[in-house]
Amino acid sequence: MAESPALSPSSASDVAPPDAQAPLAVPPARGAWSLAPPENASATGDRIDALLATSHGFDVALAAVMLGWMLLAVVRFRGARKVAPDGGTRRSRAWVLGLAVGVFGVVDGTLFLGSQGYLDDVLWNFRVPTEDPRTVRIQINAHQWSWEARYAGSDGAFGTKDDVVTWNDLRVPADVPVWVQLVSTDVVHGFALPAFRVKLDAIPGRVNQTWFQAAREGAWEVACYQHCGTSHYRMRGMLTALSPEAYAAWLREASLKAVHAYDPDDMAAHWGWVWRTP
CATH number at residue 258: 2.60.40.420
pLDDT at 8: 40
pLDDT tier for residue 6 given thresholds of 50, 70 and 90? very low
Number of domains in the chain: 1
Q: Is residue 273 part of a domain?
A: no
Region 260-266: mean pLDDT is 84
* Average pLDDT score over residue span 1-5: 42
Residue 239 sits at φ, ψ, to 5 deg, of -110, 125
Residue whose C-alpha is closest to residue 192's, from 176, 210, 215, 205: 210
Average pLDDT over residues 20-38: 60
Q: Would you say residue 96 lies in a domain? A: no
36-48: average pLDDT: 87
In the prediction, which pLDDT does 27 show?
56
**Residue 272 pLDDT class (50, 70, 90 cuts):** confident
- Domain assignment of residue 225, yes or no: yes
**pLDDT computed for residue 62 by the predictor:** 92
| 16: pLDDT strictly greater than 70 | no
Is residue 192 situated within a structural domain? yes
Residue 151 pLDDT greater than 90, yes or no: yes
In a domain? residue 226: yes
pLDDT for position 9: 37
Whether 277 is covered by a domain: the verdict is no
Q: Read off the pLDDT band of 170 (50, 70, 90).
A: very high
Domain extent at residue 181: 136-263
Q: Is residue 191 part of a domain?
A: yes
Q: Looking at the domain assignment, is residue 123 inside a domain?
A: no
Residue 14, pLDDT > 80, answer no
Give me the chain's average pLDDT, please. Answer: 85
Pair 194, 52: CB distance under 8 Å: no
pTM of the model: 0.80
